Amino acid sequence: MDKSSKKIIVTGGAGFIGSALIRMIINETEHEVLNIDKLTYAGHLESLESISDSNRYQFEQVDICDAEEINRIFNEFHPDAIMHLAAESHVDRSIDGSAEFIITNVNGTHALLEEAKQYWQSLEGDRKESFRFLHVSTDEVYGELGDEGFFTEETPYDPRSPYSSSKASSDHLVRAWHHTYGLPTMITNCSNNYGPYQFPEKLIPVVILKALQGEDIPVYGTGENVRDWLYVDDHARALLKVVEEGEPGETYNIGGHNEKQNIEVVHTICDTLNELVPKETGGNFRELISFVTDRPGHDFRYAIDASKIEKELGWTPEETFDSGIKKTIQWYLENIDWCEAVTENNYDLERLGTA
């Protein structure tokens, strides 16, 4: 592909990262987007309100497992690329029930690969040459790290949760469709994202909302587990670079160079809230921190070596953790309505994943 105006299918575009990606594509490029999303508990069209009137944006409520519908969409829309983000994405939910993770992440990716293969084989000339299938995956496929070291694209797969093993399975399928059929696929493996519009089941929005509600802030285990945080727009920018300039058959690791222990992240959020919305009683949000039973199989540390994407495609993150976390907290303070709308009747910030 290249930067000139193209037709892109984004799967999972009503989710956290997919909606950031679509907002960026519509606001900053000439590409046309068709968003395919099943609208599970995690998918919300409210996240796309700012661009939904664009004549370069369309939406279809479709399950990626529905091969017939995917086939129809490929033949009607004639995409130049597919950016595949649709997935069950929450580790804790995968511990409580793995079936949906296998259905969507494994079978759904298989259905998309089969339909993409058939469609791609029907193309000719430049359109066939430049077609791309970008599979968006996670650093969790590599397992966990100790105190030292980084995940590179050569790190052996060692997934340890139902979620990460379903994503690893889908990565293997994608590589197999490249090697066996020549489908021009690429895979990205990214670290933990944060930013606006993240469903409030993941650490950062849970901490912000629990604190604002004056409830205990649940920190799993000792709080010493380490994640490598990346602002969601930096991830979206990396995905655009890869789909436009990446090499078929390649994998690109994407990470923030922002390793933090969970407890450091929680302290930063509490301290920022102390500044932005000081308690009338003078209390400190840190008083709400509560260490709770650990997540079963909790991976200790993730950290990404992102030197390949930097060297080959010139991508580096623009946001620091300090600036990104402030913007994120400010966004949640100003968008409590969005949080209430997306959790209504489906989630009350309760603890998940205790098995």
Binding site for ligand DAU (CB under 6 A): 89-92, 138-140, 191-192, 202-203, 206, 218-220, 225, 227, 262, 295, 302
Q: Does 136 bind ligand NAD (CB under 6 A)?
A: yes
Interacting residue with ligand NAD among 79, 108, 196, 255 (CB under 6 A): 108
Minimum Å gap between C-beta 109 and ligand DAU is 14
Catalytic residue among 63, 88, 92, 139: 139
Nearer to ligand DAU, 131 or 137 (CB): 137
Catalytic residue among 140, 234, 244, 299: 140
Contact 265, 203 (CB under 8 A): yes
* H or E element at residue 58: strand 57-61
* CA gap 108, 237 in Å, rounded: 25
Site string (7-46) toward ligand NAD, x via CB under 6 A: ----xx-xxxxx------------------xxxx-xx---
| Beta pairing class for 193-194 and 230-231 | parallel
Nearest to ligand NAD by Cβ — which residue?
15
Q: Phi and psi of 257, rounded to 5°?
A: 55, 40
Stretch that binds ligand NAD, among 57-65, 207-215, 279-287, 307-315 (CB under 6 A): 57-65
Q: How far is CA 321 from CA 47, 99, 105, 192, 264, in A?
A: 23, 35, 29, 12, 11
In one-letter notation, the amino acid at residue 353 is G
318 is catalytic: no
Q: Does 143 bind ligand NAD (CB under 6 A)?
A: no
Minimum Å gap between C-beta 136 and ligand DAU is 10
Q: Write out the two tokens for 181.
A: 């059929």
Q: What single string gives the DSSP state of each residue in 152-175?
A: -TTSPP---SHHHHHHHHHHHHHH
Stretch that binds ligand NAD, among 80-88, 176-184, 270-278, 330-338 (CB under 6 A): 80-88
Count other Cβ atoms within 10 Å, centred on residue 269.
25
Q: Does 48 bind ligand NAD (CB under 6 A)?
A: no
Minimum Å gap between C-beta 128 and ligand NAD is 26
Minimum Å gap between C-beta 206 and ligand DAU is 4
Nearer to ligand NAD, 83 or 288 (CB): 83
* E strand segments, 248-348: 251-254, 259-261, 289-292
Q: Does 324 bind ligand NAD (CB under 6 A)?
A: no
Count other Cβ atoms within 10 Å, centred on residue 149.
11
The three-state secondary structure class of 288 is: helix
The sign of the torsion formed by the CA atoms of 339, 345, 349, 351 equals negative
Q: Does 196 bind ligand NAD (CB under 6 A)?
A: no
231 is catalytic: no
Angle at 115 between CA 110 and CA 120, to 5 degrees: 125
Interacting residue with ligand NAD among 25, 85, 112, 306 (CB under 6 A): 85
* E strand segments, 62-192: 81-84, 132-138, 185-190
Give the footprint of ligand NAD on this chain (CB under 6 A): 11-12, 14-18, 37-40, 42-43, 63-65, 85-89, 104, 108, 136, 138, 167, 190, 192-193, 199
Active site residues: 139-140, 163
